[in-house]
């Protein structure tokens, strides 16, 4: 018996509604309460208005005294004023809670992105799920639409109950008629929802394409090439062609399906209005009901019909938005199930770092990205990691940093197991090939929120070559970076960005220094300076350099040659140049260009 009770509960927990409602209560528990109060407040005034309408009309027809008429009018005006004040007050609270929820949801999604397993972000499944999660929120307002439609459902439900009570006192048959016609409309609206959801997957692809086209046209980095190569006519022609083949065709089918359903719905609504008046006119003419009761019943019938139609519309809107938000649910559950579970490592980190028979493959990909890697990375030594594209160099760095978890094998620091911890990342700030700029000062772009020491900053600026960048702006270290954020901000060239990346890494890295393609955008003179003077900043650190420029190998104590996810050779530059075919091929292929 307990099993039967548990199964429906487990099924409910898998639904999108359960996920969204739980997330709302987790992130902003007061939001459902204020939305419910707002919905009830919106529904009370129409009910009061219909009741007072009956009394006012009967009073005007001579059935009540003038003083009673004044009382009813006063109550109506007072209720209206109170409703306006309450609506304004509760509306402010709803807006406040909505903003708070949006902010907390954004933080929650950011946390998922930061705390999730880093290797998930490299899978096609993850990228598709992320697109299906974010697109409805940003482009279609699905989350706001879901909550608004839910509030409207509460309001419509209260309206239906109150108006049904008023009409039933005059004509029960009328209630049954309105409900029956609403059921017909429900069937028609269900068909309309099927039409929309049928084309949802196609619209997802179309939206992604048009976001890319927008970027092509509006992004200055693309705009330069569009103008340089005279591609405007070509791109606009491609957009028009795609519009006719995809967007135009899909929307034509979508609105054709909509039009048929909407036409039948309008005919049903017209028939309903005729029947409402017909069923109430006869009792009023024969004196079975008063003029006030007739007027109130007509007004209530119209309100009931509108509320039933609204509840149908809002129900299907709610289902539509729930369908859109299924992507958000799947994405969150997928990432939550793959959270890194990262723990803070031991406070006392020390070298060497050792990889013992470590293997790794990406999710949903059975091909080994790394296989059987065993390394010992010692204090005070510089290592160059080289190999062809796809050999596994950056993947190896990500494993050492703890961003990826090995499928097998072990990673230790001074004999202590460290995979699944933040040990290495607390010992260094790695530099990757692409150095991103943040919308803050040059100084803060180096610090990244860490402590500030004037002498150390001056030393790092000088060694990395950033002193020329600092001198090139009157604002110096206070110069704002990131032109995308502020038109008065300063932009940096590719080489200057890499100098900034090196400055970041050297400033904060302690025991380990990791540089991934640190000089790919630099001129040869600057590159030689970086490698030749590396001993000044390396000191007692363990230095790892990934590069396609083989010149770095001459300045390193050891070279690790990667090939097809395995170590194809390890030794000094001179040793490998004599005995390792893979290394000789890489070295001579590059050296031949300078011969």
Task: Please name the CATH architecture into which domain 353-594 falls.
Answer: 3-Layer(aba) Sandwich (3.40)
Exposure string over 193-203, b if 16+ CB within 10 A, otherwise e: bebeeeebebb
pLDDT at 4 > cutoff 60: no
275-295, pLDDT tens digit by residue? 777 777 777 777 777 777 777
Give the Å distances, CA to CA, from 10 to 145, 244, 326, 329.
Answer: 26, 45, 17, 15
Secondary structure (DSSP) of 508-525: H--SEEEEESTTTTS-HH
pLDDT at 5: 47
The model's confidence at residue 199, banded by pLDDT at 50, 70 and 90, is: low
How confident is the model at residue 202, as a pLDDT?
Answer: 63
pLDDT number for residue 508 = 79
What's the pLDDT at 177? 83
Q: Rounded CA gap, 32 and 23, in Å?
A: 11
Three-state DSSP state, 349: coil
- CATH number for the region 16-205+234-337 comes to 1.20.1560.10
Average pLDDT rounded to a whole number, residues 73-79: 81
Evaluate whether 544 touches 514 at the Cβ level (below 8 Å).
yes
Domain parsing of the chain, residue ranges: 16-205+234-337, 353-594
Which pLDDT tens digit goes with each residue over 485-495?
Answer: 777 788 888 88
C-beta separation of 149 from 307 below 8 A: no
Q: Which residue is it, tokens 């200057």?
A: 496
pTM, to two decimals:
0.64
Q: Which two tokens stand for residue 367?
A: 């091909």
Instruction: Please tell me which residue, 358 or 521, carries the higher pLDDT value.
Output: 358
Least confident range of 242-256, 428-442, 476-490, 519-533: 242-256
> Residue 52 has what pLDDT?
79
Dig out the tokens for 262 from the structure: 């909407």
Listed ranges 294-308, 394-408, 490-504, 567-581; the one with the highest mean pLDDT: 567-581
Of 584 and 524, the structure prediction assigns the larger pLDDT to 584
- Note the pLDDT of residue 343: 56
Instruction: Decide: helix, strand or coil at residue 586.
Output: helix
Which pLDDT band, with edges at 50, 70 and 90, does 205 fall under? low
Report DSSP letters for 225-264, one per residue.
HHHHTT-HHHHHHHHHHHIIIIIHHHHHHHHHHHHHHHHH
What is the model's pLDDT at position 224?
67
Radius of gyration of the chain, Cα coordinates, nearest whole angstrom: 34
Q: Span 60-69, mean pLDDT?
A: 70
pLDDT per position as a tens digit, 80-102: 788 888 888 888 888 898 888 88
């Amino acid at each position: 018996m307990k099993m039967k009770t548990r199964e429906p509960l487990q099924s409910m927990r898998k639904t999108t509604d359960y996920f969204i409602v739980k997330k709302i209560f987790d992130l902003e528990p007061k939001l459902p309460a204020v939305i419910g109060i707002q919905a009830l407040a919106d529904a009370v005034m129409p009910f009061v208005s219909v009741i007072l309408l009956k009394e006012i009309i009967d009073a005007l027809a001579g059935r009540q005294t003038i003083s009673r008429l004044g009382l009813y009018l006063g109550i109506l005006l007072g209720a209206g004023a109170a409703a306006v004040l309450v609506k304004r007050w509760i509306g402010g609270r709803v807006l406040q809670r909505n903003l708070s929820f949006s902010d907390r949801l954004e933080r929650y999604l950011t946390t998922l992105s930061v705390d999730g397993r880093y290797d998930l972000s490299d899978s096609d499944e993850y990228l598709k799920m992320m697109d299906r999660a974010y697109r409805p929120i940003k482009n279609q307002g699905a989350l706001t639409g879901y909550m608004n439609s839910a509030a409207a459902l509460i309001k419509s439900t209260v309206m239906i109950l109150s108006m049904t009570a008023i009409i039933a006192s005059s004509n029960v048959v009328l209630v049954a008629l309105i409900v029956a016609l609403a059921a017909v409309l429900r069937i028609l609206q269900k068909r309309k929802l099927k039409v929309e959801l049928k084309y949802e997957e196609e619209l997802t692809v179309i939206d992604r394409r048009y976001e890319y086209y927008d970027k092509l046209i509006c992004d200055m980095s693309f705009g330069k090439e569009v103008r340089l190569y005279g591609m405007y006519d070509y791109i606009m022609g491609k957009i028009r062609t795609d519009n006719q083949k995809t967007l135009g065709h899909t929307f034509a089918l979508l609105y054709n399906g909509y039009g048929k359903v909407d036409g039948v719905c309008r005919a049903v609504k017209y028939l309903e209005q005729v029947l409402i008046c017909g069923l109430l006119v006869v009792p009023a003419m024969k004196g079975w009901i008063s003029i006030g009761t007739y007027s109130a019943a007509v007004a209530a019938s119209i309100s009931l019909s509108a509320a039933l139609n609204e509840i149908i519309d809002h129900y299907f809107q709610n289902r539509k938005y729930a369908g859109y938000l299924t992507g958000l649910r799947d994405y969150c559950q997928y990432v939550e199930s793959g959270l890194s579970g990262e723990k803070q490592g031991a406070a006392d980190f020390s070298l060497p770092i050792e990889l013992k028979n470590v293997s790794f493959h990406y999710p949903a990909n059975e091909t080994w990205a790394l296989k059987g890697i065993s390394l010992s990375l010692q204090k005070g030594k510089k290592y160059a990691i080289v190999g062809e594209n796809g050999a596994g160099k950056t993947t190896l760095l990500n494993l050492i940093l703890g961003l990826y978890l090995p499928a097998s094998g072990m990673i230790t620091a001074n004999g202590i197991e460290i995979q699944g911890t933040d040990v290495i990342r607390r010992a260094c700030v790695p530099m990757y090939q692409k150095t991103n700029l943040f919308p803050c000062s040059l100084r803060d772009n180096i610090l990244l929120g860490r402590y500030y020491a004037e002498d150390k900053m001056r030393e790092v600026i000088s060694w990395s070559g950033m002193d020329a960048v600092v001198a090139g702006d009157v604002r110096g270290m206070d110069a704002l970076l990131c032109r995308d954020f502020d038109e008065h901000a300063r932009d940096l060239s590719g080489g200057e960005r890499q100098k900034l990346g090196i400055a970041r890494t050297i400033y904060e890295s302690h025991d380990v220094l990791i540089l991934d393609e640190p000089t790919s955008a630099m001129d040869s003179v600057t590159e030689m300076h970086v490698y030749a003077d590396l001993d000044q900043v390396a000191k007692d650190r363990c230095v790892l350099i990934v590069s396609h420029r083989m010149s770095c190998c001459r300045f390193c104590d050891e070279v690790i040659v990667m090939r097809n996810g395995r170590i194809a050779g390890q030794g000094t530059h001179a040793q490998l140049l004599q005995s390792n075919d893979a290394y000789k091929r890489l070295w001579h292929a590059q050296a031949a260009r300078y011969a």
